[in-house]
Structure 1
Amino acid sequence: MAKAFASQGDLGEKEISFTEVGDGLWAFTAEGDPNSGVIIGDDSVMIVEAQATPRLAQKVIEKVREVTDKPITHVTLTHYHAVRVLGASAFGASQVIMGEKARAMVAERGQEDWDSEFQRFPRLFEGHESIPGLTWPTTTFNDRMTVYLGNRRVDLMHLGRAHTAGDIVVYVPDANTMFTGDIVEYHSACYCGDGHFHDWPGTLGRIRNFNLDAIAPGRGEALVGADMVNAALDLTEDFVRSTYRPAARVALKGGSLKDAWDAVRAECDPKFADYAIYEHCLPFNVARAYDEALDIDTPRIWTAERDLKMWEALQG
């Protein structure tokens, strides 16, 4: 019998941090669990990333209420993954915003992703019975839109494919700060199961060109100051390249998925084995890198059944 996914045994509670990354900008982080962001405007608040369930979203709301009593009017979701979006109903926002491509991915594969992620990582779905259903945006856009929270301007942009095909970033110009979703991680593994390895470094480069003062990443601690920002961009790019290269070499020579798994472990374990959710992400990352090397441009949909078949092949 194949051993369980690493994340199925990850049951320990994580310590929450709430860090100010700019004037009125906060990062809700939890030791490698999914982060959320908070943007406080003149008269209202935008949340970036909704957590996986309404119960978990309440933990974000509690932190918000420690720093402001302004109403939460906007929830912006950087991509479609269940652990980012299914808690959105808790905020009671009048606008839920996604990129148009992310909305299409909810329609195409949202239920399958929910079922798959729930099986893989049950701890992240605390209070799953409170989820009312798939999260659908009230507002979408293609390349760019701007939201004004009073006088505070918030730019939402699609800078390129990376963690998914529909990633967006949230940029606050007056603080030169960006909420990147899972395009950028810090001492946490990138989940690449729906990723685009060839495009990801270029998207990171476009983020780097902003010369940001701070980033609230998708996972890992808040990044304040140019040194931490650039370190996170460097580490994320190294992780993506180090995962893809060995898997691609094996795939292009006709090797098996298990061969690719061994090759990626040989390159990545010495550098990243202590990163949060590394073991959880690794099988999905190898499978996607193997596919992309064979010119499968659109990531195949992960289902609970496909997860198990892939994992059995890697344990063989």
Structure 2
Amino acid sequence: MRTKAFASQADLEEKKVSFVQLSPNAYAYTAEGDPNTGVIVGDDAVMVIDTQATPVMAQDVVRRIREVTDKPIKYVVLSHYHAVRVLGASGYDPEHIVASRDTYDLIVERGEQDKASEIGRFPRLFRAAESVPEGLTWPTMTFEGRMSIWLGKVEVQLLQLGRGHTKGDTVAWLPQQRVLFSGDLVEFDATPYAGDAYFRDWPQTLDKLAQLDPVALVPGRGAALTTREQVSRGLAGTRAFISDVHELVQAGAKAGKDLKAVYRDVVAQLRPRYGNWVIFDHCMPFDVTRCYDEVTQYPDPRIWTAERDRQMWAALEG
């Protein structure tokens, strides 16, 4: 049997970018399943939600913003700590970088390891990695639970509604226009990465997102969702995937199967339903490993290092 290329190292195809207006103030920068960026153009300033992976890649977001406004980009919001979401922050030259306190703590605890791990897994997503300043992206403002930032008369609520993709997940919510920027709590036709997830909590967190009743939603990956029906599909699809992985891994662990046996069973059972989603083969080893950890002996995610990545991949896909 031929060993699969590690993670997404063989994924070299550039994706087509779209910049879609969702409301008078909200825009979605999407790229066919690559990480998305949200943009809110307020009365006096611009807010960017998730940065792209490098400052060079951020420049394409800035170019799109400048097609619609010349207002200063004052705020960058980090939905969570992953490198692909935060390392482009300096490209916007913002006045403030905002994150939850839990996200700040995760950067302290594991930011360096995550940076090396992610760049090794998916080099295409870190185009011009040399443009990333030395060190990590550090928030200049943190909050716990919720905070509002006013862009003139446009209120942006930053909400921590529960653990899911990470323990620090933050969503940005425009209550006046009912537009939600979910980060990687929600994906659309893209496989959720759950290597740092809380499988037991994630479905309930998605229920809280649904209770906001968004009319439009910018997921972490996939096309912008522009109707209530699409939003409902995005929430339901992500919830079903997380619940299915958790249920199957838990059953395998209870039956006494080791991680490799559980992994093969879960992938075989989920491929017919989810195998056409973007990055399915990339995510599944990380997702099943984290879920197996959670249902056996590690309630909190272990730190992924470049070395641990490769050891896991060799064990499951070798």
- TM category, shorter: over 0.9
Q: Identity of paired residues, percent?
A: 47
Residue 182 of structure 1: aligned partner: 184
Could you tell me which residue of structure 1 aligns to residue 299 of structure 2? 297
**In structure 1, how many angstroms separate the alpha carbons of the residues matched to 2:272 and 2:297?**
28
What SS is found at the alignment partner of 2:22?
strand
Gaps in structure 2 of 5+ consecutive residues: none
Give the distance between the partners of 1:119 and 1:199, measured in 2 at CA.
29
Aligned mate of 2:229, from 227, 230, 237: 227
Secondary structure of 1:22's counterpart equals coil
- The equivalent residue for 1:64 is 65
Offset of residue 253 of structure 1? 2.3
Give the C-alpha shift of residue 85 in structure 1.
0.1
Deviation digits for residues 77-97 of structure 1, max 9, x if unmatched? 000000000000010110000
Corresponding residue SS for 1:119:
helix
**Is contact 2:6–2:310 with CA below 8 Å preserved after alignment?**
no
* Residue aligning to 1:138: 140
Q: Shift in Å at residue 23 of structure 1?
A: 1.2
Correspondence list, 1:13-24, <5 A:
13-24=14-25
Aligned to 2:313: 311
The Cα of 1:266 is off from its aligned counterpart by: 2.1
User: Secondary structure of the residue that 1:111 maps to in structure 2?
Assistant: helix
Separation (CA, whole Å) in 2 of partners of 1:3 and 1:33: 21
User: In structure 1, what residue type is equivalent to 2:299?
Assistant: D
State how many pairs are aligned: 316
Q: Which moved more, 1:187-196 or 1:238-247?
A: 238-247
Could you tell me which residue of structure 1 aligns to residue 9 of structure 2?
8
- For the 8 Å contact 1:2–1:311, the answer to whether it is kept is no
Residues in 2 aligned to 1:116 and 1:252: alpha-carbon distance in whole angstroms: 30
Cα root mean square deviation, aligned: 1.0
Deviation at 1:297, TM superposition (A): 1.0
Amino acid corresponding to residue 161 of structure 2 in structure 1:
L
Q: What is the Cα deviation at residue 254 of structure 1? A: 2.1
What is the Cα deviation at residue 2 of structure 1?
A: 4.2
Identify the match of residue 288 of structure 1 among 265, 290, 295: 290
Question: CA-to-partner distance for each residue in 1:235-270, whole Å, 9 max, x for gaps?
Answer: 000111111211121122221111111111122100
Q: Retained in 1: the 8 A contact 2:20–2:28? A: yes
Deviations 1:165-187 (A, max 9, x none): 10010001111111000000000
Equivalent pair of 1:99/1:167 in contact (CA under 8 Å) = yes
Q: Deviations over 1:117-163 (max 9, x none)?
A: 01100000101001012000000001011100111100001000000
SS of equivalent to 2:74? strand
2:27 paired with 1:26: yes
Tell me the secondary structure at the aligned position of residue 79 of structure 1: coil
1:6: Cα distance to partner?
4.2
TM-score (norm 2): 0.98
The one-letter amino acid paired with 2:41 is I
TM-score, normalised by the number of residues in structure 1: 0.98
Shift of 1:5: 2.0
Q: Which residue of 1 aligns with 2:170?
A: 168
